[in-house]
Amino acid sequence: MNKKRHSLKDIARELNVSVTTVSFVLNGKGKEKKISDEVIKKIQDYTRKINYRPNLVAQSLRTGKTKILVFMVEDISNYFFSKIARIIEDIAYKEDYKVLFCSNENNDDRSRELINLFYERQVDGFIIIPSPGIKDSIQMLINNNIPVVLFDRYFDDLDTNYVVIDNENSTHHGTQHLLSRGYRNIGFITIDVDQIQMKGRLDGYLNAITENKLKSYVLKIPYSETGSKNGKKQIQQFLQKNPDLDAVFFSTNYLTQIGLEVLREDHPRKLQEMGIITFDDNDLFKIYSPSISAVAQPLKKIGKELMKIMMEMLQTDKGIKSTRHVVLDTKLIPRDSSLPKEEKLMHS
Amino acid sequence: MNKKRHSLKDIARELNVSVTTVSFVLNGKGKEKKISDEVIKKIQDYTRKINYRPNLVAQSLRTGKTKILVFMVEDISNYFFSKIARIIEDIAYKEDYKVLFCSNENNDDRSRELINLFYERQVDGFIIIPSPGIKDSIQMLINNNIPVVLFDRYFDDLDTNYVVIDNENSTHHGTQHLLSRGYRNIGFITIDVDQIQMKGRLDGYLNAITENKLKSYVLKIPYSETGSKNGKKQIQQFLQKNPDLDAVFFSTNYLTQIGLEVLREDHPRKLQEMGIITFDDNDLFKIYSPSISAVAQPLKKIGKELMKIMMEMLQTDKGIKSTRHVVLDTKLIPRDSSLPKEEKLMHS
């Protein structure tokens, strides 16, 4: 049952021509290489008859290209990452590239192992959300002239291509929005991690609070606990310990999900009365009751910019001389959860 | 900057040993092949010094294995598919396989093109949600002895491995649940496609309705319109044309999302009063107001069964003699959206 693949050699032997001739014809270079129409037709007819398929693995070995890109994120099943994955897949498809996805769980060991594995497999390029401590692995790729673009975050002291958003400005803007709607005691629930994007989000919030001479309320949850009951418990305790909070800003979409669950179960009244903003939008936030105001990342733009840089690198053999740094704006989408405080209290 | 890779030949030349000797040592067969400890150490020290990495593409060509699986779904950014993707990725990772994902949009041309492409790339196996008309492509893979497992649906007259759920029983059970809670005019909103899983879901609903001598209300929306305004419009019109509906069953999670949006915008009262059930759960459905009752697919079990069959095929060179058919049960999760009709009307 195991059909043997036909090699160029087999075809050449069968038709009594050279391997080079077969190769030229199959690559559409028959005329250019002055091979006779008769021989071209003979080779084309035969390969059609045997349903010949080129061995692309062998081709990869010759060209050094695999036409495969790696897309490494924290968790492919997260809304934000899976949406970007789809956008990248669609662009890659049009450019004749395929995408391997993997989830690094924001874990350094797993990230390093995956990068090494794919490096050995000679994929053509990497689009990576780096975990906190893998600067060395990224440096290794760059040293080996492998196209790599980081996104969502980068390393301050490593000169790489990256596509990020202006996190600090985004949360500053979001916090100002809550302040302008009459909220004064605004909590910020975020991830306890020493990464540039989360620092930016926290700074934006803290600056807005300080500028307005208000008190800050910050809860930091370890990333590893966001999927567990412990993460939920920490939000419960934070809300209990700070009964004067009149608004809360969640710094990621999965934190918002946990927060909404806690509010819904323990504080249904607060769910209606508090000001709520989420970082990262989700289709379901807009149909939630109340609909949840969001700082939305420009998903399409992020995907397009990532692939633009990647394709540029792939198409220039010598690599790009200077690295590209793209910083995109987010969009504040006000919904019912951040209606003016007075209006909310009147209705609830 | 472009570092040259070291080949086995380079190493052999440098150390003045044969390529075979280098190969045996690097594959941990030095002792077995009676190579002297001195030579083993010399080779190991040198490859460590030059940071030698095996060329896995060349290895693939020798072994015919790429250690890559393809996971093809309708849309990787859909909640259900991205969750299964993650489960499959985690299992594959432990078995030293990597996963290439792709979205076929339930489109035959795109599916065929992707299958051909990956077949040429010699991936080791395929896990596929087939679009309606690609029986021939699946047959081609089977004829060529490529491990393939279908999921979510299969072809009646093609003997393949598959992992599916009992769709008919699931919607029958869900419809019975609504009936037991006092709803009588139950609508069924589904996809207009001639595929076994959607036929099963529709049949389960229709059987429950017929058994109870009630009237059926069915809306079929073309898959291609579910992402557009037109899909939303059809649900709006369906609800307007059938004002006596007291419950609605959505046959997929993306239809539920559109439906909730329509109800929320146009019929906020109905959103609270109607009985609602969704096929496919979503984390956000449980924190929605009202929380949405769901027929939940066993995501982990589906992923595990798919990979169990796949690994079995990959580990048996000759392929499995008989095909595996796995049919899993779903779980009905009653939530507030299907509370007894009377109770709902009292509270609203």
Q: Output DSSP code: residue B252.
A: S
Q: Is B86 touching A (CB cutoff 8 A)?
A: yes
pLDDT of residue B3: 46
Burial class (CB in 10 A: 0-12, 13-18, 19+), B154: buried
The residue type at A188:
F
User: What confidence tens digit (pLDDT) does each residue in B47-71 have?
Assistant: 878 777 666 666 665 666 788 899 9
Contact A76 B86 (CB under 8 A): yes
- CB contact under 8 Å between B99 and A101, yes or no, is yes
Say if residue B290 is preceded by a cis peptide, omega within 30 of 0. yes
A101·B82 Cβ contact <8 A: no
What is the signed CA dihedral for A21, A24, A26, A28, rounded to 10 degrees? Answer: -140
Provide the percentage of residues in chain B whose pLDDT is more than 90.
59
Cα separation, A187 vs A234, in Å, equals 13
Closest CA of chain B from A210, distance in Å: 34
Residue of B287, B317, B347 best to disrupt the A interface, most CBs of A under 10 A: B287
Average pLDDT over residues A258-266: 93
Reported pTM = 0.79
Q: Which of B66, B103, B260 sits opposite A86 (nearest CB)?
A: B103
Mean pLDDT, chain B, as a whole number? 89
Most confidently modeled range among A87-91, A247-251, B140-144: A247-251
Which CATH architecture does the domain made up of B8-54 adopt? Orthogonal Bundle (1.10)
pLDDT in tens, A275-323: 999 999 988 898 898 999 999 999 999 999 999 999 999 988 655 567 8
| Torsion, CA A3, CA A5, CA A6, CA A8, rounded to 10 | -170
Q: What ranges do the domains of chain A cover?
A: 8-54, 66-165+299-328, 167-297+332-347
In angstroms, the CA B294 to CA B285 distance is 8
Give the residue with greater pLDDT, B9 vs A55. B9
Percent of chain A scoring above 90 in pLDDT: 60
Residue in the block written with tokens 């060991």: A109
> Long-range pairs for A48-54 at CB < 8 Å and ≥24 separation?
A50/A6, A50/A11, A52/A6, A52/A11, A52/A26, A53/A5, A53/B119, A53/B120, A54/A26, A54/B120
Instruction: Look up residue B209 and give its two tokens.
Output: 């309705």
- Range of weakest confidence among A30-39, A273-282, B19-28, B67-76: B19-28
- Polymer length of chain B: 348
Average pLDDT estimate for A232-244? 96
Task: Say how far apart CA A120 and CA B217 lie, in whole Å.
Answer: 57
Q: Which helix (H) or strand (E) holds A171?
A: helix A167-180
What pLDDT band is residue B309 in, cutting at 50, 70 and 90? very high
Residues in chain A closer than 8 A to B289 (CB atoms): 264, 288-289
Query: Would you state the pLDDT for residue A319?
Result: 55
- Which chain A residues are closer than 8 Å to B283 by Cβ? 257
Contact check, Cβ <8 Å, A145/B58: no
- Predicted pLDDT at A3: 46
Q: Do B98 and A100 touch (CB under 8 A)?
A: yes
Q: Predicted confidence band at B1 (pLDDT cuts at 50, 70, 90)? A: very low
Closest chain A C-alpha to B199 CA, distance in angstroms: 27
Q: Model confidence over B187-218: pLDDT tens digits?
A: 999 999 888 899 999 999 999 999 999 999 99
**From CA A301, how far away is CA A299, in angstroms rounded?**
5
Spatial separation of the C-alpha atoms in residues B199 and B207, rounded to whole Å: 12
pLDDT at B4 exceeding the cut of 70: no
pLDDT band at B279 (very low <50, low <70, confident <90, very high): very high
Q: Return the SS3 of B193.
A: coil
Closest residue by Cα to residue A205 from A237, A243, A248? A248
- C-beta atoms of A54 and B120 within 8 A: yes
pLDDT, tens digit, for every residue of B86-128? Answer: 999 999 989 989 888 889 888 999 899 889 888 877 789 999 9
CA distances from B228 to B52, B187, B254, B258 (A): 52, 21, 12, 10
| Range with lowest mean pLDDT among A83-87, A330-334, B40-44, B170-174 | B40-44
Residue with tokens 């390393």: A155
Cα distance from A80 to chain B (closest Cα, Å)?
9
Give me the pLDDT at residue A315, please.
Answer: 86
Check: CB of residue B281 under 8 Å from CB of residue B291: no
CB A304, CB B277: distance < 8 Å: no
pLDDT at A1: 32
Q: Which fold has domain A66-165+299-328?
A: Rossmann fold (3.40.50)
B258 to chain A: closest CA residue = A287
Residue B245: pLDDT band with limits 50, 70, 90: very high
- Beta-carbon neighbour count of residue A280 at 10 Å? 22
Q: What pLDDT was estimated at residue B31? A: 83
Q: What is the pLDDT of residue A2?
A: 37
Q: Which of residues 196-255 of B touch A (CB under 8 A)?
A: none
Q: Which residue of B has its CA nearest to A92?
A: B102
CA B143 to CA A140: how far, in whole Å?
Answer: 42
Query: How many CB pairs below 8 Å do chains A and B form together?
Result: 134
- Residue A209's pLDDT band, with cuts at 50, 70 and 90, is very high
Phi, psi of B163 (to 5 degrees): -125, 115
| A221 φ/ψ angles, rounded to the nearest 5 degrees | -110, 130
* Closest CB from A68, A85, A99 relative to B77: A85
Task: Evaluate if residue A264 carries a pLDDT over 80.
Answer: yes
Judged by a CB distance cut-off of 8 A, whether residue A60 touches chain B is yes
Alpha-carbon distance of A132 to A134, in angstroms, equals 6
- Is A182 an interface residue toward B (CB < 8 Å)? no
Contact A294, A285 (CB under 8 A): yes
Q: What is the pLDDT of residues A106-148, one digit of tens each?
A: 889 989 988 988 887 778 999 999 999 999 999 999 988 899 9
Reduced to 3 states, what is the DSSP secondary structure of residue B26? helix
Least confident of A1-10, A117-126, A227-236, B233-242: A1-10
Give the closest-approach CA distance of B202 to chain A in angstroms. 26
Chain B residues closer than 8 Å to A79 by CB: 79
Which of B77, B93, B121 is nearest residue A82 as measured by Cβ atoms? Answer: B77
* The listed CATH number (3.40.50.2300, 1.10.10.10, 1.20.58.220, 3.40.50.720) that belongs to domain A167-297+332-347: 3.40.50.2300
A77·B86 Cβ contact <8 A: yes
Within an 8 Å CB–CB cutoff, is residue A333 touching chain B?
no
Q: Matching CATH topology for A66-165+299-328 and A167-297+332-347?
A: yes
